[in-house]
Structure 1
Amino acid sequence: MRVAGKALRLSIVVGDGDTWNREPVWREIVRRAHAAGLAGASVFRGMEGYGTTYRIHSRRFFAPSKDLPVAVIIVDAEDAVRRFLPQIDEIVTSGLVTMDPVDMLIHVADAEHVP
């Protein structure tokens, strides 16, 4: 079964070393998104990047990686995403947050799991 509709994509990019109450910020975002009942969240670790410091952070073969970029992507109805934004403002102290309107296609095997 395929479900289609309009949605909002929330992308949050933080450093993998950023923490909230001793936990990675990305983990706290996913935990809160789940608790808020958002449709889903995925976390992606970047191989290289730079941000406000303009220092390039990259993964090296023999050297430990430091502060690699991590992106959390959440897609849900616009009103649900906008209600969630104050929680992002609370826990993200350094990072980039973007929102984009998207056309959503959900493929589900079971109609019981349609959002």
Structure 2
Amino acid sequence: MKLGDNCKILKIYISEDSRFEGHNLYHALVIRLKEIGMAGVTVTRGLESYGKSKAIHDMKILDLSSSLPIIIEVIDEVEMIEKALPIVDEMVKEGLVITTDVNVIKYGRD
């Protein structure tokens, strides 16, 4: 990935219990995005959320719910993000997928 303003961030919001071909969807996405050469992927688990259904999903000590929010973030050049979108569209059946322009200041070590 080159530094500068020709980059985008792809954010994918899904549920922790989302699956793809028998695997956790977030893990399947990380593997597939690595295979196509994305610069990097980060998966974050949220503590609480609600979405279109307005049902609140949260972490409670006695609640072993596995429907907490997962956010997958990918930052790469515009062309690479565009290459990833059909894959994401195929794999993500429910959730929120967004992109926005981003200016990369630093990537990796000097």
TM-score in same-fold range (> 0.5) = yes
Partner of 2:82: 82
RMSD: 1.3
The answer to which of 40-49 and 24-33 deviates more is 24-33
Structure 2 portions without partners, runs of 5+? none
TM score, norm. by length of structure 1: 0.88
Task: Summarize the Cα distance change of 1:19–1:106 in structure 2 as closer, same or farther, 3 Å threshold.
Answer: same
**Contact 1:57-1:66 at 8 Å conserved across structures:** no
The answer to whether 1:47 aligns with 2:47 is: yes
Structure 1 residues without counterparts, runs of 5 or longer = 111-115
**Partner residue in 1 for 2:56:** 56
Q: Does 1:34 align with 2:34?
A: yes
Alignment partner of 1:4 is 2:3: yes
Amino acid at match of 2:70: V
Do 1:47 and 1:69's aligned partners in 2 also have CA atoms closer than 8 Å?
yes
From the CA coordinates, give the structure whose radius of gyration is larger. Answer: 1
What SS class does the counterpart of residue 26 from structure 1 fall into?
helix
Aligned length: 108
1:54 match: secondary structure: coil
Report SS of the residue matched to 2:105: strand
- Using the size of structure 2 for normalisation, the TM-score is 0.92
User: Percentage identity across aligned positions?
Assistant: 28
